């Protein structure tokens, strides 16, 4: 083994892709869930395009052995961030092999679940695959990835591409996956878990695989209700056949985002695994369509830099909206565009970063990016737009692109003023409300919505007849929700009649808007409000149960008896609420200790972060605090989901202001894990300053 500690390269300020083209990589990996580690052998084939003295592979905190270049011992440097191979490289083909091991700090996660089982999954975008597999943080380096993974035979293992081989050795199985086409490293994935799988075939004959944990088997239909339909629609709408060999969708626990478009295998958050009731409030349709659309816009063609990130997120957002339009209709489509227009317009008051900027917000990249495409699509017509999209995808397939590449294809089919479009929509933070409203007004429901908006400051007596007529019409429900929202600050006596009409629509969303709009419920509206407890919506039931319990103490026992068997979404939103209310109701619980134990258990590592946070919020809000609750709260600070860990830290900071709570935290300190002790000690010292 040879080491060189200081290297000055001839291309330090140039992109490596101009000198080296990595073609393929094969990785044979083993995962150790107990150690939370990865190890294996890697085989890269690459071509030197121009003479160079050092090539670099991104690799965070890894250890390397047996590094060979063209079957000879290689001179290499391990910087802790990169594996650098030093040689007098000349033009031609090369072969690099090595072994490595790593305990990833991010990008690959080992999630403990009940019965000592585990789920293992990756998240490369924004986290970098180079934390667990030696690869490339530069999206412009596209490689054909072939991964083999050896793991416990009781689990299923998924990676990118087609499963070519599956071999058993004792209690282990080796899964060999292969890709046919190149992709950027951030799209490399692993998923390990215990799943049921259902297989379908798209109209184009592409194999489709949908996964669910066995405990969720009865949720298959509502979870994947429109998945195949979305696949077939997007292939037709985009005009280019799905560019990969297979498509899978796999829910994983404690996922960092809603979903991730890893090439051939989308991972998504378990919050979208729903039953038929949960579907009404929290369904997978939009995320499903968004991540699939990325398989063209992001996976097939990839933005060359973050400046052009809208070419991925704006496109995926827009095509997801088109898919939802196909499923839910025009009113849904236009109402959603109206809502995002309001969000962008409001954000533009303070957001000074435009779409064509690497630091733009998610709202800008996603929603304003989608608006750019909507404006363009409407302006040049469907035929020209689809022709340009098809040409754009075929011309730049398996390559990286920028905004001008896309505009070049538009110019071939239309004389539309793209310079003006770029200045107005991509380079300005001002939202063009007049142009947006003109396009939205093609929809009759939005015409009415805009009329309602104009009435915001009009006295209720002057607009009541119009609002009543609209509520009683068959217009799209979001317009009726807007009326309920507009009534929120009116005195109850003058709006009661309209709220009754809103309830009588029997539309789940409109009734939910009524539920949320009344934190104070008058006695003469109690009976009508109580009907919300029977709505087929876990979200409505949660809102209604809490507000009724809070407003009518004399009826608490009746409400608790009615809801005692409610569970809710898979984050147990109704069960955790019921437990906290039952414990806070005098003389209700015969055995309060068992209820405290159950609610405390929901805050433990047995459950996902959303459930744990739900339970902890309720335990602390209702002052049900013991050493176990405090230990579980400290445990939140070490979680890989930043939102949950931040909640843990912020909540502990508030509690530490109480001297008794500080003493309690100091008492539990010795019983915590080293990571938990580190986090709590840091917070204790922070308060001392």
DSSP 611-632: HHHHHHHHHHHTT---HHHHHH
Taking residues 244-273, report their average pLDDT.
Answer: 98
The dihedral sign for the CA sequence 169, 32, 135, 190: positive
CB 122 within 8 A of CB 107: yes
The CA-to-CA distance between both ends of the chain, in Å, stands at: 49
Mean pLDDT of 235-257: 98
Predicted confidence band at 3 (pLDDT cuts at 50, 70, 90)?
very low
Render pLDDT for 197-222 as a digit per residue (tens, 0 to 9).
999 999 999 999 999 999 999 999 99
**What's the predicted TM-score (pTM) here?**
0.95
Which are the contacts of 76, defined by CB distance < 8 A and separation ≥ 6?
2, 3, 4, 64, 67, 83, 84, 85, 86, 98
Residue count (the chain): 689
Please state which CATH number belongs to domain 1-188. 2.60.40.1730
Once rounded to an integer, what is the mean pLDDT over residues 452-460? Answer: 96
In angstroms, the CA 489 to CA 444 distance is 27
What is the DSSP-derived secondary structure letter of residue 538?
H
Angle of the 403-411 helix axis to the 382-395 helix axis, nearest 10: 130
**pLDDT at 232 exceeding the cut of 50:** yes
In angstroms, the CA 28 to CA 30 distance is 7
Nearest to 27 by CA among 134, 164, 131, 106: 134
| Ramachandran area for residue 506 (φ above 0: left; ψ -120 to 50: alpha; else beta) | left
In angstroms, rounded to a whole number, what is the distance separating the alpha carbons of residues 256 and 107? 10
pLDDT mean over 237-263 = 98
184 CB-near residues (< 8 Å, 6+ apart) = 136, 139, 140, 141, 142, 302
E-state strands within 205-311: 207-212, 247-252, 259-260, 265-269, 301-303
Q: Where are the domains of the chain?
A: 1-188, 195-295, 301-442
- Tell me what the mean pLDDT of segment 56-65 comes to: 98
% of the chain beyond a pLDDT of 70: 98
Alpha helices in 565-658 (DSSP H): 573-583, 592-602, 609-621, 627-636, 642-655
C-beta separation of 268 from 250 below 8 A: yes
β-bridge partners, 627: none
In tens, the pLDDT along 114-167 reads 888 999 999 999 778 999 999 999 999 999 999 999 999 999 999 999 999 999
**Architecture in CATH of 301-442:** Orthogonal Bundle (1.10)
pLDDT at 13: 37
Query: Residue 306 belongs to what H/E stretch?
Result: none
3-class state of residue 492 by DSSP: helix
Superfamily of domain 195-295: Neutral Protease Domain 2 (1.10.390.10)
Who's near 314: CB < 8 A, 6+ residues apart?
355, 365, 366, 368, 369, 370, 372, 373
Given this model, what pLDDT does residue 363 score? 97
Q: Is 329 left (phi over 0), alpha (psi -120 to 50) or beta?
A: left
Q: In the predicted model, is pLDDT for residue 689 greater than 90?
A: no
Angle at 93 between CA 90 and CA 95, to 5 degrees: 110
Q: Do domains 1-188 and 301-442 have the same CATH topology?
A: no
What's the chain's average pLDDT? 96
Could you identify the residue written with the tokens 């667990």?
132
- Predicted local confidence at residue 2, as pLDDT: 37
Tell me the mean pLDDT in the region 543-550: 98
pLDDT of residue 15: 74
Residue 604 burial (CB < 10 Å; 0-12/13-18/19+)? middle
Instruction: Give the pLDDT confidence of 317-374 residue by residue, as tens digits.
Output: 999 999 999 999 999 999 999 999 999 999 999 999 999 999 999 999 999 999 999 9
């Amino acid at each position: 083994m040879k080491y060189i500690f200081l290297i000055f390269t001839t291309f330090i300020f140039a992109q490596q892709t101009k000198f080296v083209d990595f073609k393929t990589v094969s990785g044979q990996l083993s995962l150790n869930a107990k150690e939370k580690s990865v190890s294996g052998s890697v085989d890269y084939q690459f071509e030197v395009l121009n003479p160079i003295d050092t090539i670099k592979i991104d690799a965070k905190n890894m250890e390397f052995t047996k590094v060979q270049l063209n079957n000879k011992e290689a001179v290499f440097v391990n910087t802790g961030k990169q594996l650098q191979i030093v040689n007098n490289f000349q033009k031609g083909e090369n072969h690099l092999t090595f072994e490595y091991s790593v305990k990833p700090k991010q990008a690959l996660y080992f999630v403990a679940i009940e019965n000592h089982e585990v789920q293992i999954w990756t998240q490369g975008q924004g986290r970098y695959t180079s934390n667990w597999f030696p690869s490339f943080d530069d999206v412009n380096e596209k490689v054909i990835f072939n991964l083999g993974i050896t793991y416990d035979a009781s689990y299923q293992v998924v990676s990118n591409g087609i499963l070519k081989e599956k071999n058993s050795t004792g209690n282990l199985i080796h899964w060999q996956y292969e890709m046919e086409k190149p992709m950027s490293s951030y799209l490399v994935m692993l998923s390990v878990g215990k799943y049921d799988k259902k297989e379908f075939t798209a109209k184009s004959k592409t194999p489709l695989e949908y996964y669910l944990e066995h405990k969720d088997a009865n949720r298959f239909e509502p979870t994947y209700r429109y998945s195949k339909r979305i696949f077939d629609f997007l292939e037709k709408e985009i005009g280019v056949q799905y560019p990969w060999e297979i498509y899978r969708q796999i829910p994983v626990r404690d996922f960092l985002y809603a979903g991730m478009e890893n090439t051939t295998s989308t991972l998504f958050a378990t919050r979208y695994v729903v039953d038929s009731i949960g579907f009404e409030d929290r369904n997978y349709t939009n995320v499903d369509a968004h991540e699939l659309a990325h398989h063209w816009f992001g996976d097939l063609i990839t933005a060359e830099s973050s400046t052009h990130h809208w070419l991925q997120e704006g496109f995926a957002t827009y095509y997801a909206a088109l898919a939802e339009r196909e499923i839910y209709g025009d009113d849904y489509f236009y109402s959603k565009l109206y809502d995002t227009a309001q969000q962008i317009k409001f954000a533009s008051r303070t957001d000074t970063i435009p779409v064509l900027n690497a630091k733009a917000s998610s709202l800008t990249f996603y929603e304003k990016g989608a608006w750019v495409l909507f404006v363009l699509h409407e302006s040049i017509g469907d035929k020209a737009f689809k022709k340009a999209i098809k040409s754009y995808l075929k011309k730049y397939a398996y390559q990286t692109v920028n905004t001008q590449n896309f505009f070049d294809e538009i110019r071939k089919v239309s004389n539309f003023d793209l310079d003006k479009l770029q200045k107005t929509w991509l380079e300005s933070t001002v939202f063009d409300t007049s142009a947006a409203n003109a396009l939205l007004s093609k929809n009759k429901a939005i015409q009415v919505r805009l009329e309602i908006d104009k009435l915001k400051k009009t006295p209720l007596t002057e607009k009541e007849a119009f609002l009543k007529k609209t509520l009683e019409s068959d217009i799209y429900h979001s317009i009726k929700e807007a009326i309920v929202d507009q009534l929120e600050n009116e005195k109850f006596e003058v709006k009661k009649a309209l709220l009754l009409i809103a309830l009588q629509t029997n539309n789940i969303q409109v009734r939910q808007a009524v539920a949320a709009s009344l934190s104070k419920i008058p006695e003469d509206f109690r009976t009508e409000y109580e009907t919300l407890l029977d709505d087929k919506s876990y979200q409505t039931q949660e809102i209604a149960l809490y507000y009724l319990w809070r407003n009518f103490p004399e009826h608490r026992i009746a409400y608790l008896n009615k809801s005692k068997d409610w569970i809710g979404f898979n984050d147990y939103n109704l069960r955790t609420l019921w437990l906290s209310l039952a414990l806070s109701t005098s003389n209700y619980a015969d055995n309060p200790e068992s209820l405290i134990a159950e609610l405390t258990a929901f805050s433990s590592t047995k459950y996902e972060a959303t459930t744990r946070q739900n339970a902890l919020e309720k335990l602390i809000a209702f002052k049900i605090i013991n050493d176990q609750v405090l230990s579980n709260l400290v445990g939140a600070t070490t979680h890989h989901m930043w939102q949950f860990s931040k909640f843990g830290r912020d909540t502990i900071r508030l509690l530490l202001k109480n001297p008794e709570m500080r003493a309690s935290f100091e008492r539990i300190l010795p019983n915590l894990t080293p990571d938990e002790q580190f986090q709590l000690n840091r917070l204790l010292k922070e308060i001392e300053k």
